[in-house]
Structure 1
Amino acid sequence: MQSRLRVQGHPIQPMLVTFPLGLFVSATVFDLIDVLGGPAFLGEVGYWTGVAALVAAALTAVAGMVDLWDVPGDRTRRTAIAFNLVNTVMAAMFLLTCLVRSQSPQRGASAAILITELVALAVGGVGVHLGARLMHEFDTGRAEAGTLDALAGSTIEIVRPRP
């Protein structure tokens, strides 16, 4: 199975997934520092990082839905649906925290918000596992990276050092 959305032969959705995950983790770290008594502005930085993560998650979800269109109706499809649902649950939990914080003038984090974000990241960890399983299933039938077949069609340039 090939992804419909590709850049130079590489599927886009696995690349996009790293942005919301990294931003969600960053938002949680900023909020942790804020809750532990760090500078107050870090709470607002955590809030806006969470908002940026939600935008990235929406774009990633669109790419995931396009790719889901062509997934065969077997175990791979069930894994892909579970992957998208788990990531949606994680994003929904962060959306909830952002909505709660948007009512506050400082947009700082609280212990309850931090706990919600940590649970959301745990849910995201399940998504990472499912995503790894999907990549393994999608790559079945392709040349293994360590074999000579993987080099077919690629060029190797030998550069000699200048004296």
Structure 2
Amino acid sequence: MQSRLRVHGHPIQPMLVTFPFGLFVCATVFDLADVLGGPAILGLVGYWTVVAALVAAGLAVAAGMVDLWDAPGDATRRTAVTFNLVNAAVAVLFVFACLIRAGVPEHGATGGLVVVELLALLLGAVGVRLGGSLVRQFDQGRGEPTSFDGFGPPASSVASGFGRRRGG
């Protein structure tokens, strides 16, 4: 599957997906610490981290939709559609948690909301697995090395002189 949105030959959407997922994980950690008796500021930080993650998720979903536009109608397309739907479901669960907290003073978390966030992260783990599958399917058609074995020793003369003792 080729991506229309690329930077230096690499698709943008897999890069963008890491930001919301990482922010969702951080927000859940902050909220869990808030529920377990940490300072109230942790709930506020968790809330605003979810808001930032939702903005990043919107960008990732937009990039995913552009990539789906030209996707062939095969197993790769089905995996890509499922991947985007799972990521959208994770975002919807966090939107739900965010909207409930919007009216609470200091935007503090509750035990029930932390459970919803943990369930969303479990669903997000499915998305991570699907994303990995997409990357492998994408890399199969590229003909480029997909591991560090493809990187040989540097060929430049400057690098070849590195590490040699000079007489003197």
Give the Cα separation in 2 of the matches to 1:143 and 1:10.
Answer: 12
Q: Distance in 2 between matches of 1:146 and 1:34?
A: 41
Q: Is the 8 A contact 2:139 2:146 kept in 1?
A: no
By how many angstroms is 1:61 displaced? 0.4
Q: Are 1:38 and 2:29 an aligned pair?
A: no
How big is the shift at 1:106?
1.1
Runs of 4+ in 1 over 4 A off after TM superposition: none
Partner of 1:143: 144
How far the C-alpha of 1:144 sits from its partner, in A, is 3.1
Moved more, 45-54 or 62-71: 62-71
What amino acid is the match of 1:143?
A: E
Matching residue of 1:59: 59
C-alpha separation between the residues in 2 aligned to 1:33 and 1:20?
20
State how far apart, in whole Å, the 1-side matches of 2:48 and 2:3 are.
31
Normalised to the residue count of structure 2, the TM-score between the two structures is 0.89
Which sits farther off after the overlay, 13-22 or 139-148?
Answer: 139-148
Q: How far, CA to CA, are the matches of 2:148 and 2:55 in structure 1?
A: 39
> Residue 82 of structure 2 aligns with which residue?
82
Shift of 1:140: 1.2
Residue 105 of structure 1 and its aligned partner are, at CA, apart by: 1.7
Q: Which residue number in structure 2 is paired with residue 9 of structure 1?
A: 9
One-letter code aligned to 1:114: V
| Identical positions, percent | 60
TM-score (norm 1): 0.91
- Which deviates more from structure 2 when the two are superposed, residues 87-96 or residues 139-148? 139-148
State the alpha-carbon separation in 1 of the partners of residues 39 and 117 from structure 2.
19
Unaligned runs of 5+ in 2: none
- Shift of residue 44, structure 1, vs aligned partner: 0.4
Question: Larger Cα Rg: Structure 1 or Structure 2?
Answer: 2
The within-5 A match list for 1:95-110 is 95-110=95-110
Match of 1:124? Answer: 124
SS of residue paired to 1:39: coil
Amino acid at match of 2:70: D
Report how far residue 156 of structure 1 moved.
4.0
Q: Cα distance, 1:91 vs. partner?
A: 0.3
Note if contact 2:28-2:117 (Cα within 8 Å) is conserved in structure 1. Answer: yes
Label 1:143 to 1:39 Cα distance change in 2 as closer, same or farther (>3 A).
same
**Which residue pairs with 1:47 in the alignment?**
47
TM-superposed CA distance for 1:139, in Å, is 1.1
Paired position in structure 2 for 1:111? 111
| Residues 42 and 131 of structure 1: CA distance in aligned 2, closer, same or farther (over 3 Å) | same
